[in-house]
Amino acid sequence: MLLQVDKISFGYRQKSIPNNFKLRDISLKIKSGSLTGLIGPNGCGKTTLLTLMAGIQRPQNGKVTLDDEPLTSITKRKIAQCIAIVPQETHPAFDYTVLEMALMGRHPYLKPFTLEGPADIEIAYNALTVTGTDHLANRPYMTLSGGEKQRVIIASALTQSPDILLLDEPTASLDLGYQIEISLLLKKLSRERNMTLVVATHDLNMAASLCENLVLMHRGKILAQGLTQEVLTVDMVRQLYGVEASVKLQSETGDLLIVPLRRKDTNL
């Protein structure tokens, strides 16, 4: 499935949100089976863009299309069957078990007031197995570690059987071990399921090793987009974060390695 963003603009109108934030003239094409990273500083619009791409919010100008059909003309149920989103944090209202959290991904396929059947439970268990959390199925979700919770939420998204998976900071606040686990899981989903993935992250080294393509965002605009090794440069890191950095190829992996050196125009 081709997910395309065509010249969209979006601004928040609530009094609690600064009036100067707005996504402006955003266009990008997410090809089927690709693995794309969204990077940029806090407040640049990554999360907002993901919610627009998932059909959770509607752009004020422009359009988001799925296989050339505007999301505004597709039912929420159908969108949810095609696109799943993994938020930064999940705080369930009740003390659900891990299996119950995974089964929430079947809601787009259920009729009102119907319960999950054996086929839905099998799909949920398969998703838990893929994410290495099937042994936690009967554990209360809130008793899990941060890395375990993140893998369960990814399992819930996989239970939706989506073609496209959008992830917002999937490794935020995780230790190094869990960061590697999540990265390996995303690579596995891309390789074995040919799933289309879009990952918003602050971790430049994870983005460099994981993503084929990058979209660099700054102040509500796209600063650059293209192949990772072509757009993730010293100059772009400077423009994005105001940081002088070393950007070099690792001899062991062939991936870029980004090492921040100091703040731009300072000795700190």
What proportion of the chain, given as a percentage, has pLDDT over 90? 73
pLDDT at site 14? 64
Q: Residue 141 pLDDT more than 80?
A: yes
Please check the confidence at residue 59 and state whether its pLDDT lies above 60: yes
* pLDDT in the model for residue 268: 56
Strand partners of residue 4: 29, 65
Per-residue pLDDT band at 55 (split at 50, 70, 90): very high
pLDDT band at 15 (very low <50, low <70, confident <90, very high): low
For 32, how many CA atoms within 13 A lie in the half-sphere containing its CB? Answer: 9
pLDDT value for 214: 97
Tens-place pLDDT, residues 70-109: 999 999 999 999 999 999 888 888 999 999 999 999 999 9
pLDDT at residue 19 tops 70: no
Residue that has been written with the tokens 């600063």 in this structure: 223
Q: What are residue 257's DSSP bridge partners?
A: 248
Position 173 pLDDT exceeds 80 = no
Model pLDDT, residue 267: 59
- Among 151-165, 231-245, 250-264, where is mean pLDDT lowest? 250-264
The CA distance from 91 to 95, in Å, is 10
Q: Of residues 251 and 157, which shows the higher confidence score?
A: 157
Question: At 20, is the pLDDT very low, low, confident or very high (cuts 50, 70, 90)?
Answer: low
Task: Quote the mean pLDDT of the chain.
Answer: 91
Is pLDDT at 186 greater than 60 in this prediction? yes
Sign of CA dihedral 93, 99, 101, 105: negative
> How high is the pLDDT of residue 168?
95
Burial 214-230 (b: 16+ CB within 10 A, else e): bbbbbebebbbbeebee
pLDDT confidence tier of residue 120, bands split at 50, 70 and 90: very high
Q: Is the pLDDT of residue 235 over 80?
A: yes
250-267 pLDDT per residue, tens: 888 888 999 988 887 765
Find the length of the chain.
Answer: 268
Please tell me the distance from the alpha carbon of residue 106 to that of residue 126, in angstroms, as a whole number: 13
